[in-house]
Structure 1
Amino acid sequence: MSDYKPNSKHDPEAKFADNERLKTQSNFLRGTIETDLKDQITGGFNADNFQLIRFHGMYQQDDRDIRPERAKQKLEPLHNVMLRARMPGGIIKPQQWLAIDKFADEKTMYGSIRLTTRQTFQFHGVLKPNIKDMHQMLNSVGIDSIATAGDVNRNVLCTTNPVESELHQEAYQWAAKISEHLLPKTRAYAEIWLNGEKSESTDEEPILGSTYLPRKFKTTVTIPPNNEVDVHANDLNFVAIAENGKLIGFNVLVGGGLAMTHGDVNTYPRKADDFGFVPLEHTLAIAEHVVSVQRDWGNRVNRKNAKTKYTLDTFGSDAFKAEVEKRAGVKFEPSRDYEFTHRGDRFGWVEGIDGKHHLTLFIQNGRILDFPGKPLKTGCRKIAEIHQGDFRMTANQNLIIAGVPAQQKATIEKLAREHGLIDDGDSEQRKASMACVSLPTCPLAMAEAERYLPSLIEKTEALLAKHNVADEHIILRVVGCPNGCGRAMLAEAGLVGKGPGKYNFYLGGNREGTRIPKLYLENVGEETYLEALDELIGRWANEREQDEGFGDFVIRQGIVTEVKVSKTDFHA
């Protein structure tokens, strides 16, 4: 463990988590993945490689719907991988879109493209014989999946529509720079997947270290007043500060994160702390050394307490901040004023400063597939075939057709409407709801999420209509487990899977995404939480103050207490 020197506040006698052994022995993330690829006895990856492929952007999964039937037939689960691409800021060109569309059709089990809350796309259901082809196809069009999973800095999010103004364009450029700066330097990805020339020389990881980070690490760049990337779900956030329309630097927010473990009061979602302002020229140094401090101070014994948020709570934010300043040779200046007033995507057309137009499409659950009466995937392909700009995936699972010249607007909109990509009947509630993938593919899922969300939305819409607030909305999120992928721990109303048909029901987040909700009902089924929601919506409709959101209402009325300091308040 050459890069990790246990601090006195950690137990130097404690045994490291097995993932630390795995990374140490992996030969800079190579392991024996190549040997496993040649193994035709199993469709999966063995031993350490099951974990190591995550650093290459993949998770091993199987179709849990058919697992029992395969077991009866004495067959192993239908192993396959999910791949998450690295797309800083979510920008993808039409020719790239056509390539991933073709691969999804021809070489995945489900045929879909999944837009994710990490502002990128995922392939689901790729069988072992097609994995190498997948990486080589992506490389041929300038895409990779390096460091989109595993104990590294993952895909860097950025406020969408970066060509809407010069400020947005600059923010995107910084997101790309940060992504490149924090990438693993190992040649393992190229050697294994791209037939890169092998080298006997020793790899070096000057930022991540030879044992990489203690846990996953997430970074964003965002422009107030829109908090569409949910900064408080991330370890490191750069909040753009502008003067006269020009980017001058960032407020740096550190230590956000939403994952927790059911029944473990030592785990909790946490908001990020504002460390202060830095001018642009110090951005990469600050990014590097927030990562390096977390690398060296993070908990490598207990992975449930290994995220940056716990490092801050263990050592104190001030001590962490001082160490970053010392290593970077930069002092944080006092934070500049900013405010988040809303989050979410702006649907419909927006005109940019260059006269080009951008169309934001609502994609329920981010699942791009040809559904009955809504051939979304075909529609996106037809648009990509004629589009002269690019696509922008959002952190809310939606898609922007960006850079459309005025003379092409009508054609693009006609294609979108013909293929169900624009539906004027979509309610505000539907647009404000989100779910993780969950069953049948996620191995961590305890309850349904993506497949359940449409019916949950319909029932919620009915409750809003019952109380004469059908034009209103609640930021509603449902996830299959407590790992945080669907960001339910920043919702006004969040359901977190506890078991088949059972959820923990949380209330009290806000529309700006700056407050953690609190447990209201534990391990309940649909009848119970909908009955509670019915009563609460009725009270909100009749007792709210002007423009008061649902989450603010339940806090003001004392229905749940506000979570101010997660470590002490969340489980209280």
Structure 2
Amino acid sequence: MSKASVEEIKLQSDGLRGVIGEVVGDAGVTHVEEDQAILMKFHGTYQQDDRDKRAALTKEKKEKAWSFMVRSKMPGGRISAEQWLIHDELCRLSEGSLRLTNRQGIQLHGVLKGNLKEVIAGICRSGLTTMGACGDVVRNTMGPAAPVKSGVHEDAQALTEEISQRFLWRSQAYADIWLDGEKLSPEWLAAPEVDPAVREKTASGEEDPIYGKAYLPRKFKMAVAIEPVNDTDVYSQDVGFVPHVVGGEVAGYTILVGGGFGMSHGQLSTRPFLAQPLAYVPREHVVDATEAIVTVQRDHGNRTERKNARMKYTVQTMGLEAFRAAVQDRLPTVRLEEPKPVAFDSVEDSLGWYEQGDGRWYCAVHVSMGRVTDRDGGPQYLSAFNEIAKVLGLPFVITPNTNVVVAEVGAEQRAVVDAILAKHGVPHADGMTRTRRVAHACVALPTCGLSLSESERALPGVLDEVDGVLRELGLEDDPVLIRMTGCPNGCGRPYNADFGFVGRAPNKYAMFVGGSIAGDRLAGLEQKTVLLADIPGAIRGFLEAYKGERTAGETFSAWFGRTRPVGPAPDPEQFHVELAARAEKLAGEKLTAEG
């Protein structure tokens, strides 16, 4: 096992090459050493093992059941029928399912090392890539899922592709290792040419002008959202983009910075932050402005302590105005303007049938926990989407809520799509509570090495019980956002949900309450530990109070904000000290002040 730091490993990697090619090609070993596993993240794959089998294998003195997760990068979640079917073929080389991610990608789990090159090469030759889907670089850029034919929606998608092209890392290592030197050519819009005056300010001085030899201090996430739908959760991103529309066309974007949700239980130096408005930038300068932001993080981010290396900490340490000044300094030909007001009302997907605006339709289909598989005695998601791709050749969009949009449907094809979904037992969202339609969990066990508790395999059972409570109280059509994640890194984005459950230990979760269905408010710690079996009861108490105290038309989020203090944000105590303890402390401070 390597004792070198991640920063040292990157610097010594020869452009992220390491000895990946040699170890992947060595049929005599089932896994790679830690330093190479770190580098392989940049190539879009994580080394994992089956934790369901770990204890038994250890007892038998056998090695872990090693495998790899491979993640596809697809800006805005767009994937053609042909690309989908290639992923289906490749999933036969994995554990057999496609896992949709809440960053609009697809993950293949359980890929053995001997199949890794075939899987990654197959994804690349489909016109997508895994390059930069993981690692300390700009990850998949998210965009609005609804394939509406409007200038605003089309520009938002174009921006996701332009950003993705601009921030691909430049080393030849990826092509040499996985594609035998073949040039990587993702089917995305080309990025606009960088302003030479901007590049002079942002250049790293190395072969890769943006990333240099050390790349970024930590992962970097970006998303575009169109008001009033915050489906991409822009406040949770390192950088968020919100279009300013004039006369039906995008004039520019308000840019938000400094969001991010990863933290560690009880460590006051780590906590979630919501992104803050930084500036408004005319459309033609947005990608250059993004390069300025990314390179400020490259040069000022914390490279000593990885727990504090995300850009949210850089913004907090520098202060928003100093951060803005550093960005402005790298934009000599662009003036950062005051951000435009932005407002959102929901992170939800609009499930069901909708017109695209060009005579065609799209259908947003709910996929439980984003797991596309043929379930025993349940929905045959994989067969359904494969048949739609094969028979109708229709493209898909992966949504930030891990659902699937079937796009470009002709009016005469609607009945065929409905028949295919019904044939394979895919449920219609109309029969679901509004809570179930938007609930989400991260993958967690058995493959995630960081998970402290179940998530994807636990939340559906919790929702079964919560659904009963909602129907009993007549709240089945009220928007209530529940998210679960297996560890405090927060991949399931629990910290801005109405109810967020964060794994602490097997069957034990920290309970956060008081976020928002719009994704624009952080929750507070309600209980340090709640047992899995007790979660529905804990939620019930709040729902009963909401029903009794709400005003006409008031959502759960609005009611909670009106009646229950969640504390100021960002306040470390909000995430590490229980609500009751905070309230007692505040009461004591008030008495002291009055006395």
Residue 439 of structure 2 aligns with which residue? 433
Distance 1:497 1:570, change over 3 A: closer
Contact between 1:392 and 1:401, CA under 8 Å: does it hold in 2? yes
Contact 2:147 2:356 in 1 (8 A): no
The residue aligned with 1:9 is: none
Residue aligned with 1:411, SS: helix
Q: Which whole-Å CA distance do the structure 1 matches of 2:4 and 2:222 have between them?
A: 24
| 1:305-324 map, 5 Å | 305-324=308-327
Aligned to 1:492, which of 498, 503, 523? 498
SS of the counterpart of 1:337? coil
Task: Encode CA deviations 1:333-358: one digit per residue, 9 max, x unaligned.
Answer: 12223311222111111111211110
Task: State the match for 1:421 in structure 2.
Answer: 426
Contact 1:56 1:146 in 2 (8 A): yes
SS in 1 for 2:295: helix
Matched-pair contact (CA < 8 Å) for 2:462–2:535 = no
Matched with 2:363 is 359
Which amino acid counterpart does residue 480 of structure 1 have in structure 2?
A: G
Equivalent runs, 1:292-307 vs 2, <5 Å? 292-307=295-310
My pick for the range that moved more, 189-198 or 285-294, is: 189-198
Q: Distance in 2 between matches of 1:318 and 1:353?
A: 41
Q: In structure 1, how many angstroms separate the alpha carbons of the residues matched to 2:206 and 2:300?
A: 23
- Note if contact 1:436-1:480 (Cα within 8 Å) is conserved in structure 2: yes
1:31-46 matches, within 5 Å, as 31-46=18-33
Amino acid aligned to 1:219 = M
Residue 50 in structure 1 maps to residue 37 in structure 2: yes
Structure-2 residue corresponding to 1:143: 128
* Structure 2 residue corresponding to 1:249, chosen from 247, 252, 265: 252
Give the secondary structure class of the aligned counterpart of 2:330: helix
Displacement, 1:95? Answer: 0.8
Residue of structure 1 equivalent to 2:454: 448
Q: 2:390: which partner in 1?
A: 385
Secondary structure at 2:440's aligned position in 1? strand
Two-structure CA RMSD over aligned residues (Å): 1.8
1:17: Cα distance to partner? 8.2
Distance 1:381 1:509, change over 3 A: same
Separation (CA, whole Å) in 2 of partners of 1:293 and 1:567: 25
Deviates more, 1:38-47 or 1:123-132: 38-47
Q: Distance in 1 between matches of 2:571 and 2:140?
A: 26
1:338 aligns with 2:342: yes
Task: Decide whether the 8 Å contact of 1:446 with 1:480 is kept in 2.
Answer: yes
Which amino acid is 1:147 matched to? G
- Which residue is 1:368 aligned to? 372
Contact 2:124 2:130 in 1 (8 A): no
Contact 1:276 1:333 in 2 (8 A): yes
1:191 pairs with one of 176, 183, 208: 176
Give the match for residue 158 of structure 2.
173
CA distance in 1, matches of 2:157, 2:571: 31
State the secondary structure of the residue aligned to 1:48.
Answer: helix
Corresponding residue for 1:545?
Answer: 551
Q: For residue 569 of structure 1, report the CA deviation from its aligned partner.
A: 5.0
Shift of 1:214: 0.3
Amino acid paired to 1:232: Y
Note if contact 1:269-1:566 (Cα within 8 Å) is conserved in structure 2.
no
CA distance in 2, matches of 1:17, 1:514: 39
Matches within 5 A, 1:474-553: 474-553=480-559
Structure 1 CA distance, aligned partners of 2:300 and 2:563?
41
- Matches for 1:251-270 after TM superposition, within 5 Å: 251-270=254-273
| Aligned partners of 1:555 and 1:562 also within 8 Å | no
- The correspondence for 2:276, drawn from 273, 276, 279, is 273
Paired amino acid for 2:363: L
Cα distance 1:476–1:393, how it changes in 2: closer, same or farther (>3 A)? same
Q: Determine the structure 2 residue equivalent to 1:3.
A: none
* Cα contact 2:401–2:438 (8 A) shared by 1: no
Alignment correspondent of 2:93: 107
The secondary structure found in structure 1 opposite 2:449 is coil
SS at match of 2:386: helix
Q: CA deviation at 1:32?
A: 0.8
Q: After TM superposition, give the deviation of residue 563 of structure 1 in Å.
A: 3.6
Aligned to 1:96: 83
* Conservation of the 8 A alpha-carbon contact between 1:58 and 1:84: yes
Partners in 1 of 2:572 and 2:244 — Cα distance? Answer: 30
* CA distance in structure 1 between the partners assigned to 2:318 and 2:284 by the alignment: 28
| 1:195-220 CA distance string (max 9 Å, x none) | 1179xxx9711011210000000011
Other structure's SS at 2:526 match: strand
- Normalised TM-score (structure 1): 0.93
SS class of match (1:328): coil
Q: Which moved more, 1:406-415 or 1:547-556?
A: 547-556
Q: What CA distance in whole angstroms lies between the structure 1 residues aligned with 2:450 and 2:73? A: 22
Could you say what secondary structure the match of 1:489 adopts? coil
Contact 2:525 2:574 in 1 (8 A): no
Give the whole-Å Cα distance in 1 for the aligned partners of 2:511 and 2:378.
33
- In 1, Cα distance between equivalents of 2:222 and 2:370: 21
Distance 1:441-1:334 versus aligned 2 partners, 3 A rule: same
Alignment of 1:50-129 (within 5 A): 50-104=37-91, 106-108=92-94, 110-129=95-114
Q: Distance in 1 between matches of 2:574 and 2:379?
A: 45
> Quick check: 1:402 aligned with 2:407?
yes
In structure 2, the residue matched to 1:240 is 243
Checking the alignment, whether the CA contact within 8 Å between 2:144 and 2:225 is kept in structure 1 is yes
Q: Is the 8 A contact 2:478 2:555 kept in 1?
A: no
How far 1:506 sits from its partner (Å)? 0.2
Distance (whole Å) between structure 2 residues aligned to residue 472 and residue 236 of structure 1: 30
Indicate the SS of the match to 1:65: helix
Quote how far apart the aligned CAs of 1:73 are.
2.6
Cα distance in 2 between the residues matched to 1:432 and 1:154? 23
1:285-332 per-position Cα deviation (integer Å, ceiling 9, x unaligned): 111010000000000000000000100111111111111011022221
User: Amino acid of the residue matched to residue 439 of structure 1?
Assistant: L
Alpha carbons 2:15, 2:173 under 8 Å: kept:
yes
SS of the counterpart of 2:495?
helix
SS at match of 2:240: strand
Pair 97,356 (structure 1): closer, same or farther in 2 beyond 3 Å: same
| Shift in CA distance, 17/569, structure 1 to aligned 2, threshold 3 Å | farther
Residues 318 and 567 (structure 1), Cα distance of their counterparts in 2 relative to 1, 3 Å cut? farther
Unaligned 5+ runs, structure 1 = 1-15
What is the aligned partner in structure 1 of residue 566 from structure 2? 561
Look up the match of 1:30. Answer: 17
8 Å CA contact 2:478, 2:556 repeated in 1 = no
Residue matched to 1:460: 466
Task: Tell me the residue number matched to 2:141.
Answer: 156
Measured in 2, the distance between the counterparts of 1:432 and 1:160 equals: 14
Rounded to whole Å, the distance in 2 between the matches of 1:161 and 1:190 is 33
Aligned partners of 1:143 and 1:553: how far apart in 2? 44
> Equivalent pairs: percent with the same residue?
38
Do 2:147 and 2:407's aligned partners in 1 also have CA atoms closer than 8 Å?
no
Aligned residue in 1 for 2:587: none
Aligned to 2:352: 348
Partners of 1:240 and 1:503 in 2: CA distance: 37
